[in-house]
Amino acid sequence: MFLTGATGFIGGHVFRALRAAGYRVRALVRDPGAAARVPDAEAVPGDMRRPGDLLRAMDGCRYLVHCAALYSYAPRDRPVMRAVNVTGTAGLLEAARIAGVERAVVTSSAGTVGQASLPGGHRLPGEERRPDERAATEADAAAARTHSAYHRSKIEQEYAALAARVPAVLVLPTATVGPGDWKPTPTGQLVLDFARGRIFAAPPGGGLNMVAVEDVARAHVLALERGRPHERYLIGGENLGFDAVWQLLAEVTGRPAPRWRLPVTLALLAGGADELRCRLWPAATPHVPLEGVRMSVERMYVDSAKARAELGWEPGPVRAALGRAVAWYREHGYFTATRPLH
């Protein structure tokens, strides 16, 4: 088994799920200093921007699980994000074919499907449900110009994976939460900011689907063993309006949910100013990413019925996953806020 992304958030949990299922793992490690995160694996140094160099590393491996990806809101990272997520994936799968790999699982994103609203889901106060509301499925195509450069790269990655000559199964996780999000991802940063008391205003509206990272990892193993080649499987937990997200975070952190809602126009102006700042000073880190602001007004709800039916997969409660995430951040010294968590 050859695994990429084993030192990352999702990939690290996939590594542990594969080991628990009895697989021997050879793991791609870009930073040799991070090899300690995969103690039971044969660590192989390499870089997704040079996938041809990995041909020899995959020799003798029957399976490939590809979790490595770059996710960033910074404008400076957009070219390398495409190089890693799109070109790197295409090259990796071709190298896998030459190496004799029989089957691959590729981690994509739920951002590659269209967004919709969920009947009976969590809505903003006073918001009425539209007659055509429903959650997105694998049959829904994402908009041609999605707001996120990361999601655009994932759409192109899927085209590359489905065109590859190695039979590939695509796993499409939603916003993933849980312990071990050390970087953190944008979703992990949201959890961390709330726990630190840095969320002063709620987004203008919208919602998203959240899923526990342990459930995402288990879905990768099931996709490897039961998934149909060239099929996509949405891996989502619960569809939540942002008000419901704040309420869950309030319950697991003991902090109050934000009472003030940021107006859409003000949020877009702040995001636009932050985008301009990062373009003028490429080394800058986005504080109010414009891509994130635009996504915050969408209802990014999905239906994972296909994964349930074909993979036998079932997600656990999101509240518990948020609790595990907060506990992990607290245990590892991420909190700097003066008010302690209970």
Residue 341 forms part of a structural domain: no
Sorted by sequence, the CB contacts under 8 Å of residue 161 that are 6+ apart come out as 89, 93, 104, 106, 108, 168, 170
User: pLDDT truncated to tens, each residue of the chain (342 aa)?
Assistant: 999 999 999 999 999 999 999 999 999 998 877 777 888 889 999 999 999 999 999 999 999 999 999 988 888 888 999 999 999 999 999 999 999 999 999 999 999 997 554 333 333 333 334 434 579 999 987 665 566 888 899 999 999 999 999 999 999 999 999 999 998 998 999 999 999 988 887 776 788 999 999 999 999 999 999 999 999 999 999 999 988 999 999 999 999 988 877 777 777 787 788 788 888 888 888 877 777 777 777 788 999 999 999 999 999 999 999 999 999 999 999 886 444 444
Residue 132 forms part of a structural domain: yes
Residue 79 forms part of a structural domain: yes
Residue 69 forms part of a structural domain: yes
Q: Domain limits at 155?
A: 2-331
What is the separation of C-alpha 162 from the centre of its chain, rounded to a whole number of angstroms?
20
Comparing C-alpha atoms, which of 151, 173, 163 is closest to residue 73?
151
Residue 340 forms part of a structural domain: no
Residue 342 forms part of a structural domain: no
**Cα–Cα distance measured from residue 229 to residue 148, given in angstroms and rounded to the nearest whole number:** 27
Residue 123 forms part of a structural domain: yes
Contact 208, 174 (CB under 8 A): yes
Task: Say how many domains are in the chain.
Answer: 1
Contact 178, 238 (CB under 8 A): no
pLDDT digits (tens, 9 = 90+) for 44-91: 999 999 999 999 999 999 999 999 999 888 888 889 999 999 999 999
- Could you tell me the CATH number of the domain that includes residue 213? 3.40.50.720
Name the phi and psi angles at 238, rounded to 5. -125, 135
Residue 130 forms part of a structural domain: yes
